[in-house]
Structure 1
Amino acid sequence: MAPVATNEKSTTSPNVQSLKDDASKVFNPFYSPAIADDGDESYIHSQYKVGVSSRSLIVQIWNIETFQPFFPNLSWPPLEEVEVTERALFADPEKKSLFRAAKKVRHYTPVIGTEISGIDLRQLSDSQKDELALLVAERGVVFFRDQEINIQEQLDLARHFGPLHKHATTPIPKAGIEEVHVVYNDHSRRPDPASFSKLELWHSDVTYEVQPPSVTSLKVIAGPEYGGDTLWASGYALYSGLSPGFQKYLEGLKAVHSAVAQADGARAAGLPVRREAIETVHPVVRVNPATGWKSVYVNPGMFATDSRRFTRRIVGVPKAESDAILSFLFHQIAENVDNQVRFQWEPNSIAFWDNRAVVHSATFDFWPATRHALRATPHGEKPTSVEDYERQTGKVAKDRQLEIWKQQGLDTQTNGKNYSTKARGYND
């Protein structure tokens, strides 16, 4: 851990103005922890802020007064494996209970994204929660607007899907709820395009954990009039778009997912890391137990260099081959718009997505406005490879797109793929 100064005064200690200046510098949203805010204590949701005012920032880093810090110096033990019940397996496949309660169900694209209106999330029955879990697993991400659900209710709903994750490096909100991941940015933190590329913002949450998240929810409680959208991309669709030979090759691979860079970023800022960083090996293609569908499972987030991204390398292949495969998959995630959906937030909008099957990316186009959201993050099962899924369940893992085409009565004898170079005449 980076050294933290004591309360002894020193002529070499940074002065107040320099710390204020540091708090307003540009930042990389992954590498730079949220240790600054605009100091507006009249802000209606200030109890859920993660940042601190300039005065509190000085106190936290230099410990010269007795203000309560928002990055508590705690030490958590390593996470142990926990049993997780896949609630989607209890759902009515037709989701009658959930859909009958809705005023409207609208799919955003054929591949990913559904919005439901007319439902109060606070009133969901257990059967409706199970059906929501299945819908999220199938559609990747499901949106609701005008939701008055508070953070405690959001956490209770999330617990229906699994035990809640506590992040090792993100700050604790003023309300002191350790299971909440706070997304906060205001005019004091200006994104620095020189420190990250847009490709590097695509990620799946904490894939380095032994049991990464499943049905995750994010509620925006304050945001700009426009901008600050989030995009999601389907790992199912990425898999479906590959040639059968490449699909089979990827199914046999595993990759290392690392928390090290995120922990290093916290320590570089002089902040504690509450749980030591780990690296975990997961299959490159995993099967979602809720659907039985195969999904590409790699995580480009953080930095383009292999020492700074979440998915660092593919195990057991030459580095050049690993780099080429990961680069190809990362670019498919970021650049294949057919696999993506974009959501324009409003205050009290909430999204539920399945981290096992999608990746997502923020847009940092709203500065200097404020954007503030709260995330609840249930653990899922250990990622399961195609081989292990089929051995453990006796079922055959499926290609989502082929299953959809079968339901539509279409011929899938050629795997639904035609790689002819003949011009299609498609134009828009």
Structure 2
Amino acid sequence: MMTSYEQARRNEGMWEMDHAPYLRSRRYQGQRCDDHLPALLIITTSGASSQMSPIATSATTNGDSSPSPQHRVPLQLTGILDDIPFEEITPVIGREYTTLDVRDLLKDPQSDAKLRELAIITSRRGVVALRNQSVTPQEQQELTARLSLLSGTPEESGLHIHPVLNGQRDKAYRATGPNGEASADDTISVISSNFRKKTDDRLAQIQGGAAGEIHSDITFEPYPSDFSTLNIHTNVDCGGDTVFYSGYEAYDRLSPAFARFLEGLEGRYAQPAFQRMAKEGGFQVHAGPRGHAANVGGDLSATHPVIRTHPVTGWKSLFAVGAHFESFPSLRPDESTLLRAYLLDQVATTHAAQARVKWQDTSEGKSTLVVFDNRCVFHAATPDYFSKGGHRVGTRVVSVGEKPYFDAGSISRRDELGGERYI
């Protein structure tokens, strides 16, 4: 059954189904190897199965006259993961699985259909915590790449290379390879509290204290991230939680008049802190390409909508928040500063729009792997364990998505779900 949004799109003549088969691009292996994916199946309410329609596209615009084929009809859940137990972390953001094993999921005969479902769940819930995992960095890399591709990322987008935290600059940021060697693949970043301890005071001064921790990954790129995965495999006894903030809920809490005002704005997204760190450290920012041909150079800045439409859900989300957001170019500097501070404060202080993920004890060799969608979620680490001498290490993989856009015909999360449904 069509959602009201899909029906409206059809009535406008924009509900055009692309019947070409899905293509799998093994970008996580560093090669091109395109082949047809097996047909994905939808289990209908009657119990029968039918072939899943490929990702639909529609011709909307980026604020100019050029159509953008990545503005798609929202993807629909099939229910293929409904038999796996889960808990919603809060009513508006976050889900937790304790028995969904990533390693098994990657090898499952219905792997593509289940990964696509997990991607849609993540896009709707914002963040998904997968407990009791024992994945390698390479399996985490595969998971991230396939979540992105199966949910419709542009074919030319791949995995991101961090401009600062990469193994080309410092071997300390290289993950372990399949045979125990240091991996030369810079799309896998090692996240270590040792780096944070060295830079925390400086970053806090640059970013403005605790609220300055809030960000979405790599929004300073022309083509920013869709999904990030973070696996903490060496943990601390207490503390270090990560807080996630819903951009959907932040939008839904705006007054209609204020929302319309923000929908007409674009913002400048930049990260000069990385450039300063490179200058002070005597190294060069990674020149790219960083996951997309457009993500090149050392400028680390881009222009994106303040409110963006999520291509997987069709929902509006506040996007212009956090450490990687700089200003509103169309406003006066004083107006821009006030508005930036106001939006950040609304996100940071609205507890009902937040989910706190506690990283699971890894004493039994298991870890927590978190998947989150940077198009609709902000996050912030909590470095409250530094004074206790704790140390933790993990791996991060970030996939690159589409160029952000705002579709005036899109709706909000609350418009579709109301106050009763979680997903």
Does TM, normalized by the shorter one, top 0.5? yes
* Secondary structure in structure 1 of the residue aligned to 2:286: coil
Point out where structure 2 has 5 or more consecutive residues left out of the alignment.
1-67, 106-110, 150-157, 168-172, 175-181, 288-297
Residue 256 (str. 1) matches residue 295 (str. 2): no
Find 2:414's aligned residue among 401, 406, 411.
401
* 2:12 alignment counterpart: none
State the one-letter code of the partner of 1:266: A
Find 1:384's aligned residue among 405, 414, 420.
405
* 1:238 alignment counterpart: 250
**CA offsets, 1:196-229, max 9 Å, x none?**
5100000111101111111211000111011011
* Secondary structure in structure 1 of the residue aligned to 2:118: helix
Question: In 1, are the aligned partners of 2:93 and 2:126 still within 8 Å (CA)?
Answer: yes
* 1:3 alignment counterpart: none
Residue 169 (str. 1) matches residue 164 (str. 2): yes
CA gap 1:126/1:186 in 2 versus in 1, 3 angstroms:
same
Kindly state the Cα deviation for residue 248 of structure 1 after the two structures are TM-superposed.
0.5
CA gap 1:98/1:139 in 2 versus in 1, 3 angstroms:
same
Find 1:182's aligned residue among 174, 190, 198.
190
Kindly state the Cα deviation for residue 323 of structure 1 after the two structures are TM-superposed.
1.2
CA gap 1:84/1:278 in 2 versus in 1, 3 angstroms:
farther
Kindly state the Cα deviation for residue 271 of structure 1 after the two structures are TM-superposed.
2.0
Residue 192 (str. 1) matches residue 192 (str. 2): no
CA gap 1:339/1:407 in 2 versus in 1, 3 angstroms:
closer
CA gap 1:126/1:99 in 2 versus in 1, 3 angstroms:
same
Q: Which stretch has the larger CA shift, 232-241 or 363-372?
A: 363-372
Q: Partners of 2:399 and 2:383 in 1: how far apart?
A: 26
Residue 336 (str. 1) matches residue 350 (str. 2): yes
Residue 113 (str. 1) matches residue 135 (str. 2): no
Find 1:360's aligned residue among 364, 376, 379.
379
Q: Partners of 1:407 and 1:299 in 2: how far apart?
A: 27
State the one-letter code of the partner of 2:87: R
* Secondary structure in structure 1 of the residue aligned to 2:218: coil
CA gap 1:381/1:269 in 2 versus in 1, 3 angstroms:
same
Q: Which stretch has the larger CA shift, 229-238 or 341-350?
A: 341-350
Residue 208 (str. 1) matches residue 220 (str. 2): yes
CA gap 1:241/1:89 in 2 versus in 1, 3 angstroms:
closer
State the one-letter code of the partner of 1:287: T
Residue 288 (str. 1) matches residue 310 (str. 2): yes
Q: Which runs of 4+ in 1 moved over 6 A?
A: 83-88
Question: In 1, are the aligned partners of 2:70 and 2:311 still within 8 Å (CA)?
Answer: no
Kindly state the Cα deviation for residue 407 of structure 1 after the two structures are TM-superposed.
6.5
Q: Partners of 1:299 and 1:265 in 2: how far apart?
A: 22
CA gap 1:406/1:340 in 2 versus in 1, 3 angstroms:
closer
* 1:319 alignment counterpart: 333
**CA offsets, 1:60-83, max 9 Å, x none?**
xxxxxxxxxxxxxxxxxxxxxxx9
Question: In 1, are the aligned partners of 2:241 and 2:359 still within 8 Å (CA)?
Answer: yes
* 2:134 alignment counterpart: 148
Q: Partners of 1:156 and 1:209 in 2: how far apart?
A: 22
Fraction of identical pairs, as percent: 31
Kindly state the Cα deviation for residue 259 of structure 1 after the two structures are TM-superposed.
3.2
Question: In 2, are the aligned partners of 1:202 and 1:300 still within 8 Å (CA)?
Answer: yes
Kindly state the Cα deviation for residue 145 of structure 1 after the two structures are TM-superposed.
0.8
Point out where structure 1 has 5 or more consecutive residues left out of the alignment.
1-82, 302-309, 388-395, 409-428
Q: Partners of 1:121 and 1:147 in 2: how far apart?
A: 7
Question: In 2, are the aligned partners of 1:187 and 1:369 still within 8 Å (CA)?
Answer: no
Q: Partners of 1:221 and 1:150 in 2: how far apart?
A: 10
Computed over aligned residues only, the root mean square deviation of the Cα atoms, in angstroms, reads: 2.3
* Secondary structure in structure 2 of the residue aligned to 1:145: strand
CA gap 1:180/1:85 in 2 versus in 1, 3 angstroms:
farther
Kindly state the Cα deviation for residue 312 of structure 1 after the two structures are TM-superposed.
1.3
Kindly state the Cα deviation for residue 88 of structure 1 after the two structures are TM-superposed.
10
Q: Partners of 1:358 and 1:263 in 2: how far apart?
A: 25
CA gap 1:351/1:404 in 2 versus in 1, 3 angstroms:
same
State the one-letter code of the partner of 2:394: A
* Secondary structure in structure 2 of the residue aligned to 1:214: strand
* Secondary structure in structure 1 of the residue aligned to 2:133: coil
Question: In 2, are the aligned partners of 1:186 and 1:369 still within 8 Å (CA)?
Answer: no
Normalised by the size of structure 1, how large is the TM-score?
A: 0.67
CA gap 1:185/1:115 in 2 versus in 1, 3 angstroms:
same
State the one-letter code of the partner of 1:181: S
* Secondary structure in structure 2 of the residue aligned to 1:146: strand
* 1:139 alignment counterpart: 125
Question: In 2, are the aligned partners of 1:220 and 1:372 still within 8 Å (CA)?
Answer: yes
Question: In 2, are the aligned partners of 1:136 and 1:353 still within 8 Å (CA)?
Answer: yes
* Secondary structure in structure 1 of the residue aligned to 2:87: strand
* 1:96 alignment counterpart: 79
Question: In 1, are the aligned partners of 2:252 and 2:414 still within 8 Å (CA)?
Answer: yes
Find 1:129's aligned residue among 92, 115, 127.
115
State the one-letter code of the partner of 2:318: V
Within a 5 Å distance, the mapping from 1:346-357 to structure 2 comes to 346=360, 347=362, 348-357=367-376
Question: In 2, are the aligned partners of 1:84 and 1:381 still within 8 Å (CA)?
Answer: no
Work out the number of aligned pairs and report it: 306
State the one-letter code of the partner of 1:330: L
* Secondary structure in structure 2 of the residue aligned to 1:369: coil
Normalised by the size of structure 2, how large is the TM-score?
A: 0.68
Question: In 2, are the aligned partners of 1:87 and 1:133 still within 8 Å (CA)?
Answer: no
* Secondary structure in structure 2 of the residue aligned to 1:183: strand
State the one-letter code of the partner of 1:322: S
